[in-house]
Amino acid sequence: MSSFIVEGGNRLTGEIEISGAKNAVLPILAGTALSSGENSIQQVPKLRDVRVMKEVLESLGAKVSQEDNVITVNSRLIDSCEISESLMRKMRATVFLMGPLLARFNQVRISQPGGCSIGPRPIDLHIKGLKALGAEFTEGNGYLEGKAEELVGAEIHLDFPSVGATENIMMASTKAKGTTVIRNAAKEPEIIDLQNFLNGMGAKIRGAGTDVIKIKGVEELNSINYTVIPDRIETGTFMVAAAVTNGDVLLQNVIPEHIEPIIAKLLEMGVDVKHNQDQIKVVGVPKIKGVDVKTLPYPGFPTDMQPQFMTLLSVADGTSVITETIFENRFKHADELRRMGADIKIESRSAIIKGIDNLSGTIVEASDLRAGAALVLAGLVAEDKTEVRNIYHIDRGYEDLEAKISKLGGQINRVSK
């Protein structure tokens, strides 16, 4: 198992380029299974989750190659609709294949996705939407089998604006007979990116980014070249890294409107944030003000930035409250920050954080991707050294994290145990 050894005390200064968005590229790669041609996806980050999605597509028979940040998928050769348990266990996002496989082959067989450390993460909303389109599901020894004579467009109201359910239903509807309307749809930028990719293949989708998405079924989907959007959560993570080290960092290849709630929060804390259409400059201040944060579906404050802000608020002035409304159990990083001296009390879905002057380096464990990132940020500002363990979580979602932090003057090394 590898760890990061992080030395605190350096201000991060300079500039880095943000990579492509993990949460855009995963549904888009799944969507390549809808066409029987060769799709080329650009600005794909080199991540563990992308490697797993490549493995999943290859296990179905597709021919997949990756050259730097470009992935080419020839899904003409797909001849299976079953995703193995071992692959399902590696990554929940494998569920994104349900929609495309039902749309193309009228069947899919997956093992029940496990929960993970941030909550049970059911897929009931995915199933409900796919059933509304005509799919029937049977369960048996941990497997879920979906079959559909024909997928027919339907009116679907999501009980919760689930990102994954919205994306799965969108993809299943692209080749359904007639029109599908998804109401209370998720509005994340990655949904718009998926719509743009699918429409580029010939789908007829309108409304992504709003809570009503209309999809008119088409017969065939062709293949295209497509560049995914930059990663708004990586952007936010480095903005917090600049703020927490009182640094001065310029981020290239960003879409500021995607991180508007993060910009607003940092400004509220007294951090200096300026941007133009594809760059953001963050200049820290010696003491940041504590603020309250409540995670909400987009365009609210993103849950994927909650752990990073808990680190920042741990060393801010005054008392702050973070309320996590999206996941049941996304405060595991609080225990680890407490080991570094943070003063955090958890009460149900809220974390009450009393800012302290300094965190102290020690051994901490990453429990998920964003918690791991939050602990690296804590190490950058803590006294002495911090060892962050289980960094395979971090490798799932951050491309070249240690190289980017080192380029900005941070002291971080990867060690294999």
Part in contact with ligand EPZ (CB under 6 A); list of ranges 132-140, 157-165, 236-244, 312-320: 157-165
Site size for ligand EPZ, by CB under 6 A? 24
Among 402, 408, 412, which Cα is nearest to 16's?
A: 408
Q: Judged by CB under 6 A, which of 17, 65, 77, 124 binds ligand EPZ? A: 124
Cα 57 to Cα 32, 68, 93, 198, 376, distances in angstroms:
9, 18, 12, 17, 32
- Is 81 one of the annotated active-site residues of the chain? no
Among candidate residues 5, 52, 116, 352, the one labeled active-site is 116
Quick one: which of 41, 57, 165, 249 contacts ligand EPZ (CB under 6 A)? 165
- State the amino acid at position 321 in one-letter form: V
With CB atoms as reference, the residue minimizing the distance to ligand EPZ is: 164
CB of 169 to ligand EPZ, least distance (A): 10
Residue 355 or 395 having the CB closest to ligand EPZ: 395
Residues β-bridged to residue 111 = 143
Q: Is 393 near ligand EPZ (CB under 6 A)?
A: no
Out of 54, 90, 370, 404, the only residue in the binding site for ligand EPZ (CB under 6 A) is: 370
Query: What is the DSSP track for 339-372?
Result: HTT-EEEEETTEEEEE--S--B--EEE--SHHHH
Structure tokens at 364: 């901490």
Say if residues 275 and 206 touch (Cβ distance below 8 Å). no
User: By CB under 6 A, is residue 271 in contact with ligand EPZ?
Assistant: no
| Amino acid letter for position 70 | V
Q: Are strands 385-389 and 363-365 parallel, antiparallel or unpaired?
A: parallel
Of 32, 94, 162, 180, the residue at the interface with ligand EPZ (CB under 6 A) is 162
Q: Give the span between the Cα atoms of 255 and 249, in whole angstroms.
A: 16
Instruction: Please pick, from the candidates 44, 163, 215, 375, the single residue that binds ligand EPZ as defined by CB under 6 A.
Output: 163
> Residues 170-209: x/- map of binding to ligand EPZ (CB under 6 A)?
----------------x-----------------------
Strands 82-83, 107-111: parallel, antiparallel or unpaired by DSSP? parallel
292 CB burial (10 A radius; 0-12, 13-18, 19+): middle
Two tokens at 353? Answer: 């954080």
Q: Is 114 in the site for ligand EPZ (CB under 6 A)?
A: no
Active site positions, annotated: 116
Binding site for ligand EPZ (CB under 6 A): 22-23, 26, 93, 119, 121-126, 160, 162-165, 186, 303-304, 326-327, 369-370, 397
